[in-house]
Chains A and B, each alone.
Chain A
Amino acid sequence: MKKQNKTLIIALICIGIAAILPLFISNNYHLNLMIQVLINIIIVLGLNFITGLTGQMNLGTAGIFSMGAYTSALVATKSGVNPWICLILAAVMGIIIGVGLGYPSLRVSGVYLALTTIGFSEIVRVLMTNLTDLTGGALGVNNIPVFSIFGHEFRENKEIYYLYLVIALLLIFNAYRIVNSKWGRSFLAIKDNPEAINASGVNIAKLRIMAFTLTAVYSTIAGSLYAHYVGFMNPSAYNIEFSINYVVMLVIGGIGSVAGNIAGAILVTIVPELLRFIENYYWLVFSIITLLFVIFLPNGMLSLFNKKKSMKK
Chain B
Amino acid sequence: MFDLETILTAIAPEVLLAAAGLLGVTIGAFLGDRFNSLSFKFGALVLFAAAALAGYYWEGGRAFDGLVETSSYANFAKVVSFASGGIALLMAEGFLRRHETLRYEYSLLIIFAALGMGMILSSADFMTLYLGVETLSLSSYVLASFHRDSPRSAEAGLKYFVLGALASGLLLYGMSLVYGFSGSTSYEVVAEAETSMGLLFGMVLMITGLAFKVSAAPMHVWTPDVYEGSPSPVVAFFATAPKMASMVVFAIVMFTAFPQAMAFDNWQIIIALIAAASMIIGSFGALPQTNLKRLLGYSSIANMGYALVAVAAGVQYGAGSLLIFMTAYVIASLGLFGGVLSMRREGGMVENINELAGLVRRQPGLASALTLLLISVSGFPLAFGFLGKLAVIEAGIDAGLVPLIIVLILSSVIAMYYYLRIVKIMWFDEQAEDFEPVDGWVTTTVYVSALVSVALLIFVAPFSDLAATVAEGLLS
**Are A and B bound to each other?**
no
Query: Interface of A with B (CB < 8 Å)?
Result: none
